[in-house]
Amino acid sequence: MAAVLTFEKEYVSHTNIGMEIEAIVHGTGLFDPGRHNRENLDDLISDLVQYRNTLPTADEYMAKGIL
């Protein structure tokens, strides 16, 4: 039987989520001039999706009474 890895998602504050989003955007925003901006956009979206996946959903926040 394969082991299943699970982890508890952290209920990060509204402010901290915004700060992390800004950091991702600004970090990816330092675009490499040697790359096409379409590639930069792909990277930005990928980084944001990865971050989103570490957070509880809006419904989970509401169920906890945090949203």
pLDDT in tens, 35-52: 888 988 999 999 999 999
Res 36: pLDDT:
87
Of 28, 30, 62, give the one whose Cα is nearest residue 45. 28
CA distance 53 to 21: 13
Local confidence band at 59 (pLDDT 50, 70, 90 cut-offs): very high
